[in-house]
Amino acid sequence: MSTTTVPRAATAGLVGGALWALMPLAFGLAALEDVESGTLSWFAVAASYWIFGVVPPVLIAVGLAALRRSLGDGLGTVGRVGLPVAGAGLVAMALGNGIEVASLTAGGGEVGLGHAVFLVGFLVSIVGGIVVGIVVFRRRNDGLSRAAGLVMALALPLGIGLGILGSAIDPHDDAWFFAAICVPTGIAWVLLGASLRGARRPAVPEFVTAS
């Protein structure tokens, strides 16, 4: 990956994290079944499903490439396993949501396969994310990265806490379920993406041509 591509991948991770963290809010604003099919509102809601439900985990997976580049030889054996595992889980979550959203936008209902793929991807991404979070916390020394690593490593208990809070506030609101899954990881990637974008890159060698 070139030094030009690294900040782009970091930006992808940051944008993906922001969209992922906002996904519960976007999904809570409107549902496809609540708007008339074929109207402008229907297309807007359908687009929001793709933008907030399918695109973010793909962008975060791209952000992992920037993290891999930034760590270089400091990634370690554990990190070399954790990053692909986290990436595979994120892609599976995107695939699962994609199956669901494709069915909904085509006029169908929820698909059991989509749910299963999403949940398996979530479990895999949590395991990989814990490893990645620990590696980031230990290997990157800036404040944003260390905060991101801590949130990433603690994503599971933080998500459980959000779920419990949601159950107490409004047990019938599915947005809290998505918040438990998405918000901690999303926030972590906003922080980490910002750090990776601002990291110093190797200087480009200057070649002097003798006249």
Average pLDDT for residues 30-56, to the nearest whole number? 87
Question: Number of structural domains, the chain?
Answer: 1
Tell me if 102 is assigned to some domain: yes
Give the structural domain span for 32.
5-198
Tell me if 151 is assigned to some domain: yes
Tell me if 156 is assigned to some domain: yes
Tell me the pTM. Answer: 0.86
| pLDDT at res. 4 | 58
Tell me if 113 is assigned to some domain: yes
pLDDT in tens, 166-211: 888 887 777 888 899 999 999 999 999 999 988 654 434 444 444 3
Tell me if 154 is assigned to some domain: yes
Tell me if 206 is assigned to some domain: no
| pLDDT at res. 172 | 78
Answer yes or no: are the C-beta atoms of 127 and 92 closer than 8 Å: no
Answer yes or no: are the C-beta atoms of 66 and 196 closer than 8 Å: yes
Tell me if 168 is assigned to some domain: yes
Tell me if 211 is assigned to some domain: no
